[in-house]
Structure 1
Amino acid sequence: MTDDVRISAGAAVLTIAPADGGAINGLTVDGTELLRQDPGTGCFVMAPWAGRLGDGRLTVGEHTYQLPINNPPHSIHGTARDTAWEVVDSTPDTATLRTALTDPWPFAGTVTQTFALTDTGLNLSMRITTAGDPFPAQGGWHPWFRRAVAPATGALELDFDPAWQYERGPDYLPTGRHIRPTPPPWDDCFAMPDGVRARLTWPGFLELTITSPVTDVVVWTLPEESLSVEAQSGPPNGLNTDPRMVTLESPLDVQVDWTWRRLSPR
């Protein structure tokens, strides 16, 4: 089993677990953990798709493939989080991990994650490549930010301004309609055509801003202990409704930045 990788910069420390799906198992700033620590939380990678894949079915050309149902009646968040990852490179403040796309995903390929940490931010980057045959893909990350942390004077606050919300059907898949954003609670996908930008604030402690060139973000507010802001390269079931094909000449690159600003002196 590959040991956890720990990188640090100033008073920020990131812990990555290659054997646990290449997930981020911890992010502390000034000694305070920002992510939930329950099994399956932290921040995991979503690849080669993000969110729900309708009924676990993927249609490419004339072929339909059945993926395992892990969120009945759908498949959710890809297969890369269920694999062990290889540590390609690690420095005091960066790390690169890689995993192969294999069964049950029907196409051979690779997912690579790179983490670059500073005292005021984290850059997450991902590349999805094919070993030969083209296939549709999405990528993103699913963080579980803690709502309450000891140094804050109140619960976590979210501020973002999407252009629209994907209407969610009773099956939790987009219906194809774009609607005015509804009030929370949310387990919904929103569009931000100029790029994702969302601000999380722990009052009196830390302001964390999520930015990305991708234009879709899922916001999940239902858990009592945490809040998720998932920048991703397409909407739920997008592999079937709006596929972005990965070819030998055109890998899929996804980048997300978390930057933070302290709201109280250290």
Structure 2
Amino acid sequence: MPETPTGAQLRLRHGELSAVVVELGAALRSLELAGTPVLDGFGADDLITGGRGQLLVPWPNRVGDGRYRWQHRELQLPLSEAPAGNAIHGLLRWTAWHTVGSDPARAVLETTLWPQPGYPFHLRVRAAYTLGPAGLETAVTARNLGGDPAPYGVGQHPYLTAGTAPVDLSVLTLPARTRITTDGRGLPTGQEPVAGTPYDFRTARAIGDLPLDTAFGDLDRGADGRAVVRLAHPDGSRGVDLWLGEGVDWVQLYTGDTLPPGERRRAVAVEPMTCPPDAFRSGTGLVTLGPGEQHTVRWGITPWRHGA
């Protein structure tokens, strides 16, 4: 049988929850509750488009011009978002990861990020996906195998759906007090409070026709230390929460307005990030991963139904 374009398909199940993780980029292909999708993912034989479910290592979002300065070195990343002149979403999206552990409800994949032009650092990266009573937890760990401190950030790019198409009808709750303003290339120009603006979703309301490709910060967290973004069906019957654990201090929301016509505003990408856009140049939220050090962060997705 021919191999799929995304490699091995790791199928997980716990109760009514099921998920599929693929070998290419350790991406999350699907997540369902009782057979109902809560992600706008991709098929087993599809190419990944729009970043769907991909892990973003060693930086999420963009690096303007792909150029940054690190410890007195001038470095140049490949311009993977060539029309805008940016490096986008890291270096491991199109890398084959290998499975190092699995059981019916858990998959652990690992890869090596080798030193290369623009990122001359040596990391081993592990992604663990676990289904349980609270949904899906993702834990990403990076270890610096090299002799020099490395700049590091991580995120993921899942598209959430509450069963409305377009997403205009979906009800969004976003516990963020500020947003990053950007220029036409998606690069930061500043920050502003969301209060009194169309970007204030601290109280649940429909997304409407607002286009979102926006990073948010100053997240309010619960007693458990987690910040929770909720997307709900307007009748309140179902929805999906994405929680951000300690160290995941930023979240990008993207309604897909720049995707091909059939994919626009079909779902909302809710992207957990340890640092905001252009962090390799600004240093904001950037982790310095020293030789031999490791860094772990967690986020998760909890589907729900009314009364469930």
Report the secondary structure of 2:12's partner residue. strand
How many pairs does the alignment contain?
Answer: 260
Are positions 1:8 and 2:13 aligned together?
A: yes
1:210 to 233, 242, 245: 242
1:44-74: per-residue Cα shift (whole Å, max 9, x none)?
1011000011111232112122111111310
Distance 1:42 1:74, change over 3 A: closer
1:220 to 226, 246, 254: 254
Structure 1 residue 211, shift from structure 2 partner: 1.6
Are positions 1:200 and 2:234 aligned together?
A: no
Are positions 1:186 and 2:212 aligned together?
A: yes
**Equivalent AA in structure 2 for residue 124 of structure 1:** T
Structure 1 residue 249, shift from structure 2 partner: 4.8
CA distance in 2, matches of 1:123, 1:54: 31
**Equivalent AA in structure 2 for residue 206 of structure 1:** R
The structure with the largest strand share of the pair is: 1
The residue that corresponds to 1:236 in the other structure is 277
Check conservation: 1:147, 1:225, Cα contact below 8 A: no
Structure 1 residue 146, shift from structure 2 partner: 3.3
Q: Percent identity?
A: 27
The residue that corresponds to 2:35 in the other structure is 31
Structure 1 residue 264, shift from structure 2 partner: 5.8
Report the secondary structure of 1:240's partner residue. helix
Structure 1 residue 136, shift from structure 2 partner: 0.7
1:159-201: per-residue Cα shift (whole Å, max 9, x none)?
11311111213332112x3202242322111103445321111
Pairwise mapping of residues 50-89 of structure 1 onto structure 2 (< 5 A)?
50-71=60-81, 72-89=84-101
**Backbone CA RMSD of aligned residues:** 2.1
CA distance in 2, matches of 1:156, 1:14: 23
Check conservation: 1:140, 1:231, Cα contact below 8 A: yes
Check conservation: 2:215, 2:252, Cα contact below 8 A: yes
Q: TM-score, normalised by structure 2?
A: 0.78
Report the secondary structure of 1:49's partner residue. coil
**Equivalent AA in structure 2 for residue 220 of structure 1:** Y
The residue that corresponds to 1:124 in the other structure is 138
CA distance in 2, matches of 1:59, 1:149: 44
**More displaced 10-residue stretch of structure 1: 177-186 or 211-220:** 177-186
Check conservation: 1:204, 1:264, Cα contact below 8 A: no
CA distance in 1, matches of 2:251, 2:176: 9
| Runs (5+) with no aligned partner, structure 2 | 43-47, 199-209, 222-226, 258-263
Structure 1 residue 252, shift from structure 2 partner: 2.2
The residue that corresponds to 1:139 in the other structure is 154
**Equivalent AA in structure 2 for residue 89 of structure 1:** G
Check conservation: 1:16, 1:22, Cα contact below 8 A: yes
CA distance in 1, matches of 2:193, 2:183: 15
Check conservation: 1:56, 1:68, Cα contact below 8 A: yes
CA distance in 2, matches of 1:180, 1:149: 29
Distance 1:160 1:193, change over 3 A: closer
Check conservation: 1:26, 1:42, Cα contact below 8 A: no
Are positions 1:48 and 2:79 aligned together?
A: no
The residue that corresponds to 1:91 in the other structure is 103
Check conservation: 1:148, 1:155, Cα contact below 8 A: no
Distance 1:228 1:5, change over 3 A: same
After TM superposition, what 4+ stretches of structure 1 lie above 6 angstroms from structure 2?
A: none
Check conservation: 1:147, 1:227, Cα contact below 8 A: no
1:241-265: per-residue Cα shift (whole Å, max 9, x none)?
1232111353222210222321266
Pairwise mapping of residues 143-162 of structure 1 onto structure 2 (< 5 A)?
143-146=158-161, 148=163, 155-162=169-176
CA distance in 2, matches of 1:147, 1:69: 34
Check conservation: 1:52, 1:75, Cα contact below 8 A: yes
Are positions 1:260 and 2:303 aligned together?
A: yes
Check conservation: 2:175, 2:220, Cα contact below 8 A: no
